[in-house]
Structure 1
Amino acid sequence: MSGLSSPSSNDSQSLKYLDLFTIIKEKIDNYEWPENETIPTERELAERYQTSRTTVRKAIEHLRQKGYLHSEHGRGTFVLPELSRRSQRQLHGFTDDILARKGTPKQQILEFGFVPVNEPIRNALQLSSHTRVLRIKRVRFDNTTPMGIQTTYLPIDENNAFTEKELLEFGSLYKLLAEKMGLELLEAYETISARQPSSAEASLLELSVHDVILTCTRVTLSINRKPMEYVEMIYPASRYSYEIKITKDSFNRK
């Protein structure tokens, strides 16, 4: 593939993976490396930038996690389309939301275990009728203030699942899925509505049963466009807001 520049005089054997990450990212952002095309191999990058293949591998993995690259066994590593990159960068979880608001994300795990699921969830995750999934029910907090209830269903192998302790240690489920399970997020589809909470929900969220809550159902797709998560989220309308970007292309032309 053409367009790969030679290392500058400052490049050396000590080139860090974050430096290489920045170099590659700029080539993608500047369209020097076209989307849907393969990038140079690990060996080519290591030779060109006079660094180790381990450093190259870490930089590529970081770019994969950021939604810039996608690797396919036997075919190589490809530049993801810009639209896909935007989708992944904007897809984030509760932990990122609270941190962006300068808050302190915390969680209380109420349920954690493998269960059978009903037909709507099974269909959303494209599962067979006898498949069990990992269900995680949590109350999410900003410091001591309850901000929501999340019930997540993950179609992962029971023999290769993470533990409740690991989830508490990572704090963020999406970070855990990426770093431990190798599951990269691409995009999600959500349905949002409003209603009043049940008495149990009101108790967990410290609300009145007459308050309004937002309910959100999300199906998240992995980088290979397979469903990797079904989640039901409940938020107090007075404590949480959604920001949605609508572009001109979102409207039907008549």
Structure 2
Amino acid sequence: MTLIDRQNHRKLYVQLYDIMKKKIEDKEWPFGFRIPIEEEICNVFEVSRATVRSAILELVRQGYLTRQQGRGTFVAKKVISDKLTMFTTFGELMLEEGIDYSTDVLAQTIMMPVDDLADKLNISEDKHVIYIKRLRKADYKPILIQETYIPFHICPPLLEEDVQKNSLFELLEKKHGINLTEVRNYFDVTYLNADEGMLLDLSESAPALVLTQRFFSGDTQIMYMRSVNGTDKYKFFIELKRKAL
């Protein structure tokens, strides 16, 4: 049985999430199976109830588990596994739409991971990170704030590259030979803070859509990106195709 590794820099609930997810994917916990109660999971993995609840909540959110009032928590009927598989750069998107675009580089520096950034990049907290913040404009109007974090050891020369004129994807793949093979996208709704509102020429607390992305090359995470846009200026379009039965 896989156990929690307390020497691992990853948070306990993330490790527990991975363990429970694997049980579902391997059908050790088949469809309809009622998972053990929280207290039992706490005892088996020697973690707190808060850790167990966080892992279960994420599994429910991802569609692996479902809760039934008064009965317990069960493995859901079907796990949704379709992913967005195409990478489109901001420039490619604007060209496709026939829109003039530009980029302002607001920051391009090196930093230490703060808050939960180390977890988001799957690195230890003593690793340096390249931080790039850009303001994207379409038809001369600001529409998107994009913050990118890349572990420094992945591509040190990126710190000196021209990220105003060049696509990060193209720099990584064509110049530095780092092929991006997978992206995981997460959408959320929030409200702009004062700085974001000023940059996007919108009022503070205006509604905004946030897209966070984790990019991988094989099993190695390469980059974490957070994009914020005002809902009146930018929309995301996702096309999903159903597999033939």
What's the CA shift for 1:210?
4.7
The answer as to 2:201 corresponding to 1:206 is yes
Residue identity in the other structure for 1:178? E
Over 3 Å counting, the alpha-carbon distance change for 1:103 and 1:159 in structure 2 is closer
The residue number in structure 2 matching 1:177 is: 172
Over 3 Å counting, the alpha-carbon distance change for 1:91 and 1:197 in structure 2 is same
What's the CA shift for 1:217?
1.0
- Cα pair 1:215 1:234 within 8 Å, conserved: yes
Query: What is the TM-score with the length of structure 1 in the denominator?
Result: 0.58
The residue number in structure 2 matching 1:242 is: 236
Q: Residue 222 of structure 2 aligns to a residue in which SS? A: strand
- Tell me how far apart the structure 1 counterparts of residues 177 and 139 of structure 2 sit (CA, whole Å): 29
| Match for residue 215 of structure 1 among 210, 219, 223 | 210
Work out the number of aligned pairs and report it.
162
Q: Residue 185 of structure 1 aligns to a residue in which SS? A: coil
- Cα pair 1:114 1:158 within 8 Å, conserved: no
How far does the alpha carbon of each residue in 1:201-247 deviate from its partner, in whole angstroms, 9 at most, with x for none? 1110011225321111111112x231111011101111111111234
What are the within-5 Å matches in structure 2 for residues 8-47 of structure 1?
Answer: none
Structure 1 unaligned spans of 5+:
1-85
The answer as to 2:149 corresponding to 1:142 is no
What's the CA shift for 1:119?
5.2
Query: What is the TM-score with the length of structure 2 in the denominator?
Result: 0.60
Structure 2 unaligned spans of 5+:
1-83
- Tell me how far apart the structure 1 counterparts of residues 160 and 231 of structure 2 sit (CA, whole Å): 29
- Cα pair 1:220 1:227 within 8 Å, conserved: yes
- Tell me how far apart the structure 2 counterparts of residues 129 and 212 of structure 1 sit (CA, whole Å): 32
What's the CA shift for 1:122?
1.3
More helix per residue: 1 or 2? 1
Q: Pairwise CA RMSD of aligned residues?
A: 2.4
Q: Residue 162 of structure 1 aligns to a residue in which SS? A: helix
How far does the alpha carbon of each residue in 1:136-165 deviate from its partner, in whole angstroms, 9 at most, with x for none? 011111131111101100113388323455
The residue number in structure 2 matching 1:230 is: 224
The residue number in structure 1 matching 2:79 is: none
- Tell me how far apart the structure 2 counterparts of residues 143 and 165 of structure 1 sit (CA, whole Å): 25
